[in-house]
Chain A
Amino acid sequence: MKQTLVKITTEWLMRNHIWAFLFLVVIFFTFASPYFLSINNLSNVLTQSAFIGILAIGMTLVMINGEIDLSVGAILAVSVALSIGLQNSGLGIWTSVMLALFSGAMLGFLNGSLIALSGINSFIITLGGLIGIRGLVFVYTGGDALIVKDFSYTEYPEIYLGPFSITAIIFLSLIAFFQWFLTSTKHGREAYAIGDNAEAAYDAGILVKRHVVINFTICGFLAAISGILLSMRLGTAEPQAGRIWELWTIIAVVLGGTRLTGGYGSMLKTLGGVLTLAVVQNGLRLMNTPNYVELIVMGAVLILALGLDRLFTSKTRENV
C-alpha cells in the first residue's frame, strides 16, 4: 500500500515535474530574499501572473490540438483599446467590456475559420494576425495611448477576497473550469484525440475543423478577458500593450509540460508553468538583480525544462 503511494506520487511528479520545480524555486527565493515568503508578496505574484496566465489557458487548449496562436498579444491589445476607447466615447462601462470581449472572440473565430477553410498552418495565419491585428489597434487609436475618463473603472481590481484579488480569482476559476472542460467534456476529450492524430480523429467521426474553430474562438475570448483585466489595472490603453506576450505565454505553457506537437497537456501543468514564470520574475526583482538577469535566467530555465521533459518522458512514456 505504502509502496504504491510512493510510486504514484513519483509518477505524478515525473509527469508534472513543473510543480516539483516550482517548489524548489520557492524554497530558493525564500532563503534568498526575506520579502519573498509573505502573504502580501505571494498575493501580488498571483495577481501579476493572471494576465499571461489567462492567455496561457487558451494557448494550452490550442496547443493540445497541435496548433499555435501567435496573435493572443495583439487580440489582448484590441480588447484593451476597445474597452477604454468605447467607454470614453460614451458607451457604458459594461457595454464597452462586452463589445471588447465579443471582438476578441470574433478575432479568434476569424483565425480559426481561416485555418479551417484554407488549410494553412496556424503558425502562418496567426503570425499574419500578430502583425495585422496590431495594425487594427493602431487604426483605432491612431497610434496614441488612450486614458480612461471614468476612474471608477480602475477600482474593480482593488476588490479582494482575503489575499486573493479579483483578477487572481478570475484566473484560478478559469483554470479550474477549463481543467474540468478538458477532462470531463466531449469537446475536451476530442482535443487530445485531434492533437494526437487529426486524421484518425476525423475518421473516428470527430468534426475536426469545427473543433479547431471553437478552440481558437475560446483562445481569442480569453485573450480579451485578459485585456479587460489589464485595462482595469492600468487605466490606459497603449497600442503596444501585450507586445511579445504571445512569446511569454508559449514559454509558460511549454514550461508547464504541454507539448507543441499536440495531444498532451493540461491546465494544471500550465498553472504550474505560469506560476513558475511569475515566481522567478518576482524573486529576481526582490533580489534586486538587474533586468538582464531575468531574461538570461528565463532562457536557461526554458532549455532546462525541455531537458527535464526529455529525461522524464523517456522513463514514463515510450513513444515521442
Chain B
Amino acid sequence: MIGEKALKGFFKRNGLLLAFAFFLAVTALNAPAFLTVGNILDVLRQVSIVGTIAIGVTFVVITGRFDLSVGSGLTLLTVIVVDQNNIVGPLGAIIMAIFGGLMVGVWNGLLIGYLKFNALIVTLAMLSLLQGLTLWYSGGANVNVHNAQTTWYAFFGRGDLFGVPVPVWILLVGGAIASFALMKTRFGRSVFSVGGNETTSKFSGINAPKIVLFAYIISGFATACAAIIMGSRVMGAQSTIGQGYELNVLAGIILGGTSLLGGSGSIWRTIVGVAMLGFIQNALLLMGFPYYIQWLVTWVVIILAVWIDLAAKRGKILT
C-alpha cells in the first residue's frame, strides 16, 4: 500500500483540522446560513481582533513565556485611539496607540527578558497597571469618535477591499509577514531556539534577553493594531472593552497546537485556532444555543485538542 504511512502521518498531524471540517459539515446541514459567504466573512471579521493579537502573542509563547496583559492593553489603547481621534485626528491617534503598544512591550520585555522576572507575574502586574491607567485616562467614562460617519479612520474596522473586510486583510497580511519573520529570518529561528532550550541558545551566541524583549514588543505592537481595528469598528470604547481577550487569545493559540512550554508553534496554526473558536461560537449561536454554551464547548474543545495532540506524540492516551 503506497502512502499508507504518509496518510497516517497526515491524519496524526492534521486530525484536528479534519475533525473541524467534519464539524463544519454537520453545522452546515443543520444551519443553512452557516456556510454562506456573508456569514463566513462576518466570522472572520469578528475573529480578526483576537487573531491580530494572537499573532503577536504567538512569538511570546514560542519563547516559552506568557503575555496576560494584552486584554488590558487592548482596552487602554482602544480608549486612547478613540479619544485622541477627537483631539489630534486619526493619524495622530494611530501613532499614539502604536507608540503605547510598543512601550508596553518594552516594559514587559525588559522586566522579563533582562531582569528575568516571572512572565506570568509581570504581565499580571501589567494587566492591573494598564487597567488602572485606563480608568485614570478616561475617568471610567465612555469615549466616542464624534465624526464616526465621515472620518477615514472607519477604513480599518468597517471598510472593504475587493469584497473582503479590511480587518481580515490586516489579519492575513500581518499573519503572512509575521510568519515570514518567524520561519525565514535569523530572528525567527532565535525565537524558537530561546523557547526550546534557553541555555543552549545562549551557548550558540544568541542574545536571549534581546529576543524576549523583541517578542514582547511584537506582542505590544499587535495589540495596538488590534486596538486600532477595534476602535474603528466600534467608534467608541468603555473601560471594559478588552476584558477577557487575553483568555480568548490563549485559547486560540492552544487550540492551534502551539505548546505553552515554548520552542514550537506557528503563525498559521494560531490563526486557524482562533478561526476555529470563532466558527464554533458562530455555529452554536446559529443553531440557537444560548451564548454561554460556547464557553462549555470551548472548555471541552481545548482540552480534547491538546490531549489528542499529546496522545499522538507519545503514542498512548494516558500518561
Q: Is A114 an interface residue (CB 8 A)?
A: yes
How many whole Å from A108's CB to the nearest CB in chain B?
Answer: 15
Interface positions, chain B 213-240, Cβ under 8 Å from A, are: none
Give every chain A residue within 8 A of B115 (Cβ-Cβ). Answer: 307, 310
Contact status B319-A127, CB under 8 Å = no
Contact status A303-B120, CB under 8 Å = no
Chain B: residues with Cβ within 8 Å of the partner, total of: 44
Give every chain B residue within 8 A of A119 (Cβ-Cβ). Answer: 310, 314, 318-319
Contact of B122 among A292, A298, A306 (CB under 8 A): A306
Query: Total A-B pairs in contact (CB under 8 Å)?
Result: 140
- The CB with the most chain A CB atoms within 10 A, among B127, B128, B131, is that of B128
Q: Is B81 an interface residue (CB 8 A)?
A: no
Contact status A260-B121, CB under 8 Å = yes
Bits for A126-145, please: 1 = Cβ < 8 Å to B, else 0. 01111111111011001100
Interface stretch (choices B11-19, B24-32, B86-94, B301-309): B301-309
Contact status A124-B303, CB under 8 Å = yes
Interface stretch (choices B156-164, B195-203, B290-298): B290-298
Give bound CA distance, A143 to B294, whole Å: 13
Q: Is A319 an interface residue (CB 8 A)?
A: no
Nearest A residue to B71 via CB reads A244
Contact status A303-B125, CB under 8 Å = yes
Contact status B298-A118, CB under 8 Å = no
Contact status B299-A139, CB under 8 Å = no
Q: Is B180 an interface residue (CB 8 A)?
A: no
Give bound CA distance, A204 to B57, whole Å: 39
Q: Is B6 an interface residue (CB 8 A)?
A: no
Q: Is A6 an interface residue (CB 8 A)?
A: no
Contact of B298 among A132, A254, A295 (CB under 8 A): A132
Contact status A135-B303, CB under 8 Å = no
Contact of B307 among A118, A129, A209 (CB under 8 A): A118
- The CB with the most chain B CB atoms within 10 A, among A117, A300, A302, is that of A302
Q: Is B10 an interface residue (CB 8 A)?
A: no
Interface stretch (choices B143-151, B165-173, B182-190, B246-254): B246-254
Q: Is B260 an interface residue (CB 8 A)?
A: yes
Give bound CA distance, A254 to B117, whole Å: 12
Nearest B residue to A250 via CB reads B124
Contact status A291-B135, CB under 8 Å = yes
Give bound CA distance, A294 to B135, whole Å: 11
Give bound CA distance, A138 to B295, whole Å: 10
Supposing A117-B319, A118-B303, A296-B129 touch, asked if A306 and B247 sit within 8 A by C-beta, the answer is no
Give bound CA distance, A120 to B111, whole Å: 28
Supposing A129-B299, A295-B135 touch, asked if A135 and B129 sit within 8 A by C-beta, the answer is no
Contact of A134 among B132, B133, B295, B310 (CB under 8 A): B295
Q: Is B181 an interface residue (CB 8 A)?
A: no
Contact status B121-A123, CB under 8 Å = no
- The CB with the most chain B CB atoms within 10 A, among A130, A136, A251, A299, is that of A299
**New A-B contacts (20) at CB < 8 Å, excluding given A118-B318, A134-B295, A139-B296:** A116-B319, A118-B303, A118-B310, A120-B310, A123-B260, A127-B247, A131-B251, A135-B292, A135-B298, A138-B292, A138-B295, A143-B292, A251-B128, A260-B118, A260-B120, A295-B131, A296-B128, A296-B129, A300-B129, A303-B111
Top 10 A-B residue pairs of the complex, sorted by shortest distance between their CB atoms? A132-B299, A295-B132, A135-B295, A299-B129, A138-B292, A292-B135, A296-B132, A119-B319, A302-B125, A299-B128
- A residues sitting closer than 8 Å to B (CB atoms) are 68, 114, 116-121, 123-125, 127-136, 138-139, 142-143, 209, 247, 250-251, 254, 260-261, 290-300, 302-303, 306-307, 310
